Every structure is written in C-alpha cells, then in structure tokens.
Amino acid sequence: MFLPGDYHTHSFRCNHADGHLMEYIRVAISLGLPEIGLSGHFPMCLLPPQFHRYAMDISELPNYLSTAKELQENFKSKIQTMVAFEVDFHKPIFSQYKQALKPYLSDLDYLIGSIHGLKWKDHIIPIDSSFTLPDELSRKNNGKDTLQLSYYSDLLELVRSNFYDILGHFDVIKKLGFTTDNEERIWESILRVLDALETSNMAVEINTSGLRKSEKELYPNKRIIKELIERKIPLVIGSDAHRPADVGYAFEPTVHFLKKNGLKSVSKIASHERVQVPLN
C-alpha cells in the first residue's frame, strides 16, 4: 500500500518530546515514506509562561533551522525532508506571531496552524487532558458548549487568516473529555469552519495521534473526515510524533479508511506550494 509522507513530527527541541531530527528521518526511510516533515513547535514566548516549556526558546531557532536544512541536504537521495513549524493561533497576539515568523518564512516548506490554549475569563486554558478545569467547566458536568464554541470560533479565525498551510488536529478540544449539551449547535460551528476551508488554500491534517490517546480516534473524528472528503478539501496525514517510534503511526489503517470513504489523493507541500498526489 502507498503510504504518504508524515507532515507532523516533533523532536527533543520541543522540550516535551524525545529524539533527534535525524532519528525521525531514519524511521521514515525505514517505513518507505516518501516525505518527512520536521515541524517543531515555534516558540510560545508570546503566550503565558505555562506554555513556554512546550516549545524551543527563540534563541534556538537558528540552530534548529541550520540542522534541519543540513539533514534535508544529506538525506535528499533517500527521502524528501521538509522544514516546518507548528505555530499557535491566538487572536490577540496573532500580528506579533506573524512578525516573529517573518524572517523565517522563506526557509520553511509549510506552517501548521494549531490551537493549544483557549481564553477563558482572565486566563488561557491549555487544551491538555492533565489540566484541571475550573469548577464551572468540570468534566463531571454538562454545559461545556461555551468553551467548545469558543474553540471553533478561534479555529474559524485561524482559517480566515490565510496565513497557515495546514490546519492541525482539527477537533483536539475533545482531549478535555467534554460532553455536549447541544450537539447540533457544536456541529453548526464545525460546519462554518469547513465552509471557510472550502474557500481557503489550506490543507487539513488527518492526525493519527488521537489513536494513541484516551480518545482512541483520529483528529478529526470520522464524521468530520467524511465531510472533508465530500467537500474535496485537501488533506495531509501526520502522526504528531513525539518520539521517533511514532513516525507513520497507524498510517496504513488510516489510509485504508480514507480510501474507503472516497479519498483519491493527498496533498504534497513544499515551499508553501501544494500539489495533489494520487493514493494508488
């Protein structure tokens, strides 16, 4: 079976992952993947301090990029290596993020736009299952629609920004273990994101890491994936690897599921340009 490239990987430079960049490339080669994306977290220094430890410091960027570029050249006869960043979207500081990224854009193949934190009252709630939610948002109660709607509203703004190449882990908000009072209202907010994607130039990531977590399902879920395929919104696949062994995780069953539901091709992105590659 043809397996596409893995567009979402992290290394020790993100401070919460393991392994060197070269190790990720070598695993991708061993799996026969045509491409591997080195997509370290762009520094989260513009977010509150509790987020800073989940990404490299801004002083590390030159070394990260030079190392990635050197590996890209050294392994070019065996695999295409892309250099990228996963970049947070948070509307109040978006313009500052754009300015911080400006010097590096020409060195990158793509940007993954993701949301890892949500504004709630006077603070930002990390989208992390280990985080203890405020009492009014306790997992034991229903009524989480406000926070979920906030997430999808921010996701809509991310898409409309036309800044990113790939939308990362679409429905990662489910990581917080929410139940939903008004499923129809949540679905309507998801449909608005899908509508915006149809008129954007973004691809959407099918992220297999959810299969390794308590959710035991892809990001996004199957209902959203079927909408993506039906609307012919471009897709890439990413493992969101945080250790070399995660590269290409569950790609074979995921590709089988995507093909079964009508997907004919996946996106290939280099230097911010996207083409479609048939799923033979």
CATH code of 255's domain: 3.20.20.140
Residue 6: inside a domain, yes or no?
no
Domain range holding 202? 12-278
* Average confidence score pLDDT of the chain: 91
2 part of a folded domain: no
Please state the three-class secondary structure of the chain as a single string: CCCCCECCECCHHHCCCCCCHHHHHHHHHHCCCCEEEEEEECCCCCCCHHHHCCCCCHHHHHHHHHHHHHHHHHCCCCCEEEEEEEEECCHHHHHHHHHHHHHHHHHCCEEEEECCEEEECCEEEECCCCCCCCHHHCCCCCCCHHHHHHHHHHHHHHHHCCCCCEECCCCHHHHHCCCCCCHHHHHHHHHHHHHHHHCCCCEEEEEHHHHHCCCCCCECCHHHHHHHHHCCCCEEEECCECCHHHCCCCHHHHHHHHHHCCCCEEEEEECCEEEEEECC
d(CA 95, CA 18): 31
* Residue 213 confidence class, pLDDT cut points 50, 70, 90: confident
User: Does 272 reside within a domain?
Assistant: yes
Report the half-sphere exposure of 4 (CA within 13 A, side-chain side). 32
3 part of a folded domain: no
Q: What are the tens digits of pLDDT across the range 14-47? A: 888 899 999 999 999 999 999 999 999 999 888 8
Over 70: is that where the pLDDT of 131 sits?
A: no
User: pLDDT band at residue 138, thresholds of 50, 70 and 90?
Assistant: low
Task: Give burial (CB, 10 Å; 0-12/13-18/19+) of 65.
Answer: middle
Are 243 and 19 in contact, with CB atoms under 8 Å apart?
A: yes
- Would you say residue 7 lies in a domain? no
Residue 214 has pLDDT above 60, yes or no: yes
CA dist., res. 261 & res. 245, Å (int)? 28
Burial-class residue 257 by CB neighbours within 10 Å (0-12, 13-18, 19+).
Answer: middle
pLDDT for 85: 97
Please report where in the chains the tokens 């471009």 appear, as a residue: 234
Burial grade of 149 (CB within 10 A; 0-12, 13-18, 19 or more)? middle
pTM across the whole model: 0.94
Do 206 and 254 touch, CB atoms closer than 8 A?
yes
Whether residue 5 is contained in a domain is answered as no
Domain count, the chain: 1
In a domain, 4, yes or no: no
Name which of 205, 118, 116 is nearest 153 in CA terms: 118
pLDDT band at 129 (very low <50, low <70, confident <90, very high): low
For residues 17 and 54, give the distance between their C-alpha atoms in angstroms, rounded to a whole number: 9
pLDDT score for 47: 80
pLDDT of residue 179: 67
1 belongs to a structural domain: no
Average pLDDT over residues 57-69: 93
Q: Which of 7-11, 54-58, 74-78 has the lowest mean pLDDT?
A: 54-58
